[in-house]
C-alpha cells in the first residue's frame, strides 16, 4: 500500500482513478489543479504523485519543475496524447514514468509499483539493523518487534529505518523532513509528528510512556534500546 496524490482536473477521470487505486489497496488524496497539487504534495508528502499534464491553471511540466525544486517524490505523468516531444519534456522535467490516456487502473497500478520498487532497490544492499527487540530489514522492507511483524506503511518503514541506523542519536524534525521525506523545505513539520505517533502506536507505546521512541524536547527524537 502506498499513499498517492492524484492531480487531475477531469472529475470523471479523477473519481474513476481514485476508485481503481483505492480498490488496489492504495490511500489516495487528490487535487484538481496544478497549484493545489503542489500544495498537497508539500503538505501531505505522498509516496508518489500521479500528475495529469493538461491542467487548467498551470502547464503540467511547469508543475513538475516547481515540485522538483522542493521534492524528490516519485512522479508518474499522464498525458492525453502519445506525443514523443511532450513525453520527453516531462521526463526531462523530472518525471519517473508516464502513462498515455486512456489508461486503466491496472496499468497505472503496475507502473506505480514498478516506480516504487525502483526506489527501493537502493535499500537492497543495506544490512539489517537490530535495536533491542526491534529488527529492521531493508532488503525485505520489513520490521519486527520481539519477532512479531509490524505492518508499516512505506514512510513509516523509512522513518523507523532512518532512526534505527542512528539509534542513540538525536535526530531533528528538519533532518527527517530532508532525509526521509526528501523535502528541501517544509511548511508545518506536523507530518513528522503525525508519522512518529503512528509509528509509536505500532510499536505499542505512547508519548507519555515511551520505550523505543524518545522525544527530546525542543530538539527532535531518538530511537533507543529500552532494555528489559
Ligand atoms: Ca486534464
Residues 76, 113, single domain; the answer is: yes
d(CA 19, ligand 1 centre) in Å:
18
HEC sequence for 32-45: CCHHHHHHHHHHHC
Q: Are 209 and 170 in contact (CB under 8 A)?
A: no
CATH number at residue 72: 3.40.50.2300
Percentage, residues of the chain above pLDDT 90? 58
Per-residue pLDDT reduced to its tens digit, 189-211: 677 888 899 899 999 999 899 99
Cell representation of residue 28 = 489516495
Query: Mean per-residue pLDDT for 56-67?
Result: 92
Angle at the Cα of 185 from the Cα atoms of 184 and 186, rounded to 5 degrees:
135
Model pLDDT, residue 189? 63
The chain-wide mean pLDDT, for the chain, equals 89
Comparing 184 with 169, the larger pLDDT belongs to 169
Residues 175, 207, single domain; the answer is: yes
Domain with 166, as residue range(s), is: 129-223
CATH number at residue 190: 1.10.10.10
d(CA 86, ligand 1 centre) in Å:
14
Q: Let me know if residue 228 belongs to a domain.
A: no
Model pLDDT, residue 162? 94
Q: Let me know if residue 149 belongs to a domain.
A: yes
Going across the sheet that includes 129-131, the strands are: 129-131, 134-137, 142-145, 148-150
> How sure is the predictor about 43, in pLDDT bands with cuts at 50, 70 and 90?
confident
Query: Mean per-residue pLDDT for 180-194?
Result: 68
Per-residue pLDDT reduced to its tens digit, 64-97: 989 888 887 899 999 987 778 888 888 888 888 9
Q: Parallel, antiparallel, or unpaired for β 220-223 and 213-216?
A: antiparallel
Model pLDDT, residue 191? 75
d(CA 70, ligand 1 centre) in Å:
23
d(CA 31, ligand 1 centre) in Å:
12
Model pLDDT, residue 15? 96
Model pLDDT, residue 42? 87
Asked whether the predicted pLDDT for residue 8 surpasses 90, the reply is: yes
* 167 contact partners, CB below 8 Å, separation of at least 6: 129, 131, 222, 223, 224, 225
Residues 91, 167, single domain; the answer is: no
d(CA 157, ligand 1 centre) in Å:
34
Beta strands in the chain (DSSP E): 3-7, 27-31, 48-52, 75-79, 97-100, 129-131, 134-137, 142-145, 148-150, 171-172, 213-216, 220-223
d(CA 80, ligand 1 centre) in Å:
8
Percentage, residues of the chain above pLDDT 70? 94
CA distances from 208 to 199, 211, 215 (A): 14, 10, 10
Model pLDDT, residue 61? 92
Asked whether the predicted pLDDT for residue 184 surpasses 60, the reply is: no
Per-residue pLDDT reduced to its tens digit, 102-138: 999 999 999 999 888 877 766 667 889 999 999 999 8
Given 124, 140, 174, the domain boundary residue is: 124
Cβ-based burial of 217 (10 A; exposed 0-12, middle 13-18, buried ≥19): exposed
d(CA 107, ligand 1 centre) in Å:
18
> How sure is the predictor about 151, in pLDDT bands with cuts at 50, 70 and 90?
confident
Given 59, 91, 124, the domain boundary residue is: 124
Cα–Cα distance measured from residue 86 to residue 104, given in angstroms and rounded to the nearest whole number:
21
Cα–Cα distance measured from residue 48 to residue 204, given in angstroms and rounded to the nearest whole number:
28
d(CA 54, ligand 1 centre) in Å:
4
Of these ranges, 76-85, 134-143, 179-188, the one predicted with the greatest mean pLDDT is 134-143
Number of domains within the chain: 2
Residues 10, 89, single domain; the answer is: yes
Amino acid at each position: 500500500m502506498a499513499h498517492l496524490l492524484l492531480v487531475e482536473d477531469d472529475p470523471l477521470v479523477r473519481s474513476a482513478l481514485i476508485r481503481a487505486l483505492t480498490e488496489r489497496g492504495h490511500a489516495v488524496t487528490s487535487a484538481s489543479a496544478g497549484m493545489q497539487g503542489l500544495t498537497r504534495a508539500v503538505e501531505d508528502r505522498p509516496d508518489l504523485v500521479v500528475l495529469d499534464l493538461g491542467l487548467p491553471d498551470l502547464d503540467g511540466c511547469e508543475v513538475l519543475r516547481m515540485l522538483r525544486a522542493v521534492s524528490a517524490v516519485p512522479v508518474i505523468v499522464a498525458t492525453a496524447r502519445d506525443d514523443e516531444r511532450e513525453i520527453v519534456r516531462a521526463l526531462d522535467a523530472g518525471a519517473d514514468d508516464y502513462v498515455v490516456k486512456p489508461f486503466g487502473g491496472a496499468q497505472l497500478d503496475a507502473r506505480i509499483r514498478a516506480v516504487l520498487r525502483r526506489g527501493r532497490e537502493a535499500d537492497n544492499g543495506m544490512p539489517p539493523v537490530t535495536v533491542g527487540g526491534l529488527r529492521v530489514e531493508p532488503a525485505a522492507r520489513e520490521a519486527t518487534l520481539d519477532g512479531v511483524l509490524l505492518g508499516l506503511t512505506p514512510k513509516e518503514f523509512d522513518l523507523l529505518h532512518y532512526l534505527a541506523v542512528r539509534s542513540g542519536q538525536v535526530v531533528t524534525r528538519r533532518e527527517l523532513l530532508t532525509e526521509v521525506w526528501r523535502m528541501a523545505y517544509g511548511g508545518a513539520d506536523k507530518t513528522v509528528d503525525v508519522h512518529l505517533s503512528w509509528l509509536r502506536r505500532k510499536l505499542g507505546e505512547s508519548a507519555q510512556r515511551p520505550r523505543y521512541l524518545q522525544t527530546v524536547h525542543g530538539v527532535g527524537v531518538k530511537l533507543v534500546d529500552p532494555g528489559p
